[in-house]
Structure 1
Amino acid sequence: MKFVSAQDEQGLFVGLLNEAEDQVLPLGRTEEKMTGFASLPASMAECIAMGEEFIEKAQAVAAWAGEHRAEEGAYLPLTGLTLLAPIPRPSKNIFCVGKNYAEHAVELGSKEDIPEDVIIFTKASTSVIGPKQPIPLHSEVTKELDYEGELAVVIGKEGKGIKQEDALDHVFGYTIINDVTARDLQSRHKQYFIGKSLDGSCPMGPWIVHASSIADPNQLNIETRVNGEIRQSSNTRQLIFPIAKIIEELSKGMTLEPGDVIATGTPAGVGKGMKPPSFLASGDMVEITVEGIGTLSNPVR
């Protein structure tokens, strides 16, 4: 199941993607046709907070829509919709894992930079944009804007002190994040936050794939292309700290809540690591593909 946050002339809604036919089923609107009452919210974060009830209702609505497809016309063409980030404004900053692929740690430093413990930083929630939305170049504040393709985890069940063996039970689903980074700001300020949190520096999407559709999130191919050129190509099995370990570490003394988003780290191949470095420029197109999820595409302007 792939869930989108979308907008049309009637407003915002959460939809279920029929990727084979490039169509989206608006869940709340269709539920109202089915029952006369819409209990499903138009906000992805609120839907996720419903827990298993949301999945059960989404499945029921999809089944009804399939049976009444011809007469109801509930499905909308994907081309006529504006897709937003699946969670357009997370209630918290995005949790991010630094240097979680050994080759990436080395390309920006040396073998001594490969971490022994999980490195966590955050990106401001105001940095989130959706698929196809332009990444601002911010030429007035940075000359070294870089890309980082990453698998992202969306928490579905609240938890604190979560053990690794239970961690994936707390995951609602998976999406893609481009952890856009102003490298010069990162170096100048000796920390991550400012260089990671410029407006528009967290493209997310194009949708959330429910956890039930991903057999093993630690076995997914991930690839980043800039203007069609492959820059990053790896697999999440190369993560130093797998997803369950990240969740365990984050939840030690901190409550994870439904709708929290965790970016799991980027592989080698970022612009700063190239010789010579190759940073983003106006007119560039960045495309990040994660196996089983899809492709997140954003132009740079």
Structure 2
Amino acid sequence: MTIPRYVLASMESGGSPEAAVVYDDTVYGLPGGPSMRTVLDDWPGWTGQIESAIGAGRLGRGVPVRDVQLTAPLPEPRNLYMCGANYADHAREMRGLARDAPIARPLHGPFFFLKPTSTVVGPDSAVALPHGIERLDWEVELAAVIGTSARNLPEQHALDCVAGYTVINDVSVRDRFKREPAPEPPMAFDWFTQKGWATTCPMGPWLVPSKFCANPGDLKMTLMVNGLVKQNSTTAEMIFDLKAQIAFLSRIVQLLPGDVIATGTPAGVGAGDKNSRYLQPGDEMVAEVEGIGTLRNRIEREQLNAAG
């Protein structure tokens, strides 16, 4: 039986965000108002219910998607695993190499860092430009959301634990990447204060079940700032593909439902162009991954809370 394409989203519902199914441009709530984390904890069960309801025409009363405020599809991930330096074209731009220069695959495997889960915001949400920061940068990424607990996976079965895919914009504070002087050489690069600022992980607009994305290794990716294309590439530029990333992570940790793996960003970041204009208040970023979705966010000046 052919399963009609649908996606899952989270929406505001007067309290905690609730999971919903988006089908035929209409949003339908799920029975009991579960969170996306709850849905992911029983991914086969929930998707089976959803597909049965779609097939039987009993999704209930829906609301046009244009009239619904979507939050991040997974507002509270268990973990945010971020893959860095994982695109060949991005490596070339950062190293000042020719477009056809070969990029060696590191023998020790992909490079990962953790981003605070509290950085997540949804589509159309504001991203705060912190006071004193001048180099706020953009990074479109394909993200995989885990739906099955997994450990020590071989690459050929690594995608079996993926529930679905979404878009992430790994907004980065380049001003704070390098500490000078550093107390010790290993402390020269500061991934936390480059990547850990509040609101710097826009995610969305929804979660596309993996069954509707046959080849995550060959998807077009773009990011625009105020309508100007900054990044224009494809996931085929990954140095370590998603299978390799998942297998690598699963050898180190137990992957859990609700974990998110952001797979890296391609060429076109502000840091790759010494003449680049970085993000300013009022700018609009539009990150898009083919077949997954379009994620819009605006930049606002950080609001400082008064002591009280």
TM-score, scaled to structure 1: 0.88
Aligned with 1:166: secondary structure? helix
Residue equivalent to 1:6: 11
Judging changes above 3 Å, is the alpha-carbon distance between structure 1 residues 209 and 99 closer, same or farther for their aligned structure 2 residues? Answer: same
Shift of 1:55: 0.8
Aligned ranges for residues 1-301 of structure 1 at < 5 Å? 1-9=6-14, 12-18=17-23, 20=24, 22-28=25-31, 38=32, 42-64=34-56, 66-67=57-58, 74-92=61-79, 94-110=80-96, 116=106, 117-140=109-132, 142-188=133-179, 190-301=189-300
Instruction: Give, as a single letter, the amino acid of the residue that structure 1 aligns with 2:141.
Output: E
Judging changes above 3 Å, is the alpha-carbon distance between structure 1 residues 63 and 13 closer, same or farther for their aligned structure 2 residues? Answer: farther
When the two chains are superposed, the root-mean-square deviation of aligned CA atoms in Å is 1.8
- Between the aligned partners of 1:114 and 1:266, the Cα distance in structure 2 is 17
Where in structure 2 are there 5+ consecutive unaligned residues?
1-5, 180-187, 301-308
- Between the aligned partners of 2:123 and 2:159, the Cα distance in structure 1 is 26
- Between the aligned partners of 1:10 and 1:217, the Cα distance in structure 2 is 34
Aligned with 2:18: secondary structure? strand
Shift of 1:129: 0.3
Aligned with 1:45: secondary structure? helix
Shift of 1:163: 0.6
Share of identical aligned residues, percent? 36
- Between the aligned partners of 2:85 and 2:78, the Cα distance in structure 1 is 25
- Between the aligned partners of 2:105 and 2:190, the Cα distance in structure 1 is 16
Aligned with 2:39: secondary structure? helix
C-alpha contact 2:17 2:71 (8 A) present in aligned 1: no
- Between the aligned partners of 2:238 and 2:161, the Cα distance in structure 1 is 19
- Between the aligned partners of 1:115 and 1:121, the Cα distance in structure 2 is 18
Where in structure 1 are there 5+ consecutive unaligned residues?
29-37
Instruction: Give, as a single letter, the amino acid of the residue that structure 2 aligns with 1:216.
Output: N
TM-score, scaled to structure 2: 0.86
Instruction: Give, as a single letter, the amino acid of the residue that structure 2 aligns with 1:106.
Output: R
Residue equivalent to 2:306: none
Shift of 1:234: 0.7
- Between the aligned partners of 2:68 and 2:13, the Cα distance in structure 1 is 5
